[in-house]
């Protein structure tokens, strides 16, 4: 009878030891969960440094978004939640907002450049083409930037519109298109070209009852206002 009693006693002791160690483990975990730490100030530090500092406090750090900043480089913390100095349980998460870089950029010099080149420079600088005003001038060819706002070298928020004053070149005179129908084509064409008009499309067509070399159709039509750069088309009998 003594041996079974000893065996039972040993089993009881083993169960008691297991319960003791299990209770100790649960208690240590409970103590760890309840441990509080003071949250450091992560603002103004690179996110990698902030993440390493949070790990030392048994905290995790999550980037919750980005925002432009004129005072912090790209990738630096500009806001945190909870705020620095707060008491926080270990293994909790700290949310931070990171800088997307400076929102202030220098305005490039556009005066004297073509509109196409200016748009490319604005795009490279993080700016956009704004309101464009055109004026006639004999001093600059058409399509050249005469002035800009803001001025070259000034600073502007990223994505700001830059206003342009663009040359339209010399103002062209306007003429009233004459009636050329039934006129002899050769002298009319010679006269128009001598006056620097662009007669570029001459088509020869059959027109019963008309002798060859006579204008039977024209574009622009009679009475239409044109400039020297406008194209003139004629149909001539063959």
pLDDT tens, residue by residue, 143-196 = 999 999 999 999 888 888 999 999 988 887 889 999 999 999 999 999 999 999
Instruction: Please tell me the number of Cα atoms within 13 Å of 100 on its side-chain side.
Output: 8
Q: What is the pLDDT along the chain (238 residues), one digit of tens a residue?
A: 445 555 555 555 555 555 555 555 554 454 444 689 999 999 999 999 999 999 999 999 999 988 878 788 888 999 999 999 999 999 999 999 998 777 788 999 999 999 999 999 999 998 999 999 999 898 888 899 999 999 999 988 888 899 999 998 888 788 999 999 999 999 999 999 999 999 989 999 998 889 999 999 999 999 999 988 899 999 999 9
Q: What is the CATH number of the domain that holds 113?
A: 3.30.10.20
Domain match, 39 and 95 both: yes
Residue 25, pLDDT score: 54
The partner residues of 205 in beta bridges, in order of sequence, read 237
13 burial type by CB count under 10 A (0-12 exposed, 13-18 middle, 19+ buried): exposed
Domain match, 137 and 179 both: no
Residue 22, pLDDT score: 55
d(CA 225, CA 48): 69
Query: Which residues form the domain of 4?
Result: 1-34
Residue 66, pLDDT score: 81
d(CA 221, CA 235): 12
Instruction: Pick the closest to residue 159 from 130, 131, 120 (CA basis).
Output: 130
d(CA 13, CA 32): 29
d(CA 210, CA 185): 13
Residue 31, pLDDT score: 46
- Domain boundary residue among 51, 68, 102? 102
Residue 101, pLDDT score: 77
Domain match, 58 and 72 both: yes
Residue 19, pLDDT score: 55
Q: What is the CA radius of gyration of the chain?
A: 42
- Domain boundary residue among 50, 67, 102? 102
d(CA 11, CA 99): 63
Domain match, 91 and 112 both: no
- Domain boundary residue among 102, 117, 134? 102
* Number of domains, the chain: 4
Domain match, 52 and 98 both: yes
Name the token pair of 219.
């574009």
């Amino acid at each position: 009878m003594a041996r079974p009693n000893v065996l039972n006693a040993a089993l009881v002791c083993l169960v008691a030891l297991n319960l003791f160690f299990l209770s100790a483990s649960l208690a240590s975990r409970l103590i760890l969960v309840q441990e509080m730490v003071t949250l450091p100030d992560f603002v103004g530090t690179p996110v990698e440094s902030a993440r390493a500092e949070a790990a030392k406090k048994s905290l995790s750090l999550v980037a919750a978004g980005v925002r432009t900043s004129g005072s912090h480089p790209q990738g630096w913390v500009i806001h945190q939640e909870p705020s620095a100095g707060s008491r926080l349980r270990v293994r909790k998460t700290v949310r931070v907002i990171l800088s997307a870089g400076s929102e202030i950029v220098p305005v490039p010099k556009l005066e004297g450049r073509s509109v196409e080149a200016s748009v490319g420079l604005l795009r490279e600088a993080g700016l956009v083409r704004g309101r464009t005003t055109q004026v006639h001038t004999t001093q600059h060819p058409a399509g050249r930037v005469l002035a800009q706002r803001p001025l070259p070298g000034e600073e502007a928020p990223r994505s700001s519109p830059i206003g342009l004053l663009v040359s339209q070149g010399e103002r062209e005179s306007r003429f009233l298109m004459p009636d050329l129908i039934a006129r002899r084509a050769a002298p009319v064409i010679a006269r128009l070209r001598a006056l620097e008009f662009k007669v570029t499309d001459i088509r020869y067509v059959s027109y019963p009852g008309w002798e060859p070399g006579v204008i039977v159709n024209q574009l622009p039509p009679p009475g239409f206002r044109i400039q020297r750069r406008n194209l003139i088309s004629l149909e001539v009998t063959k």
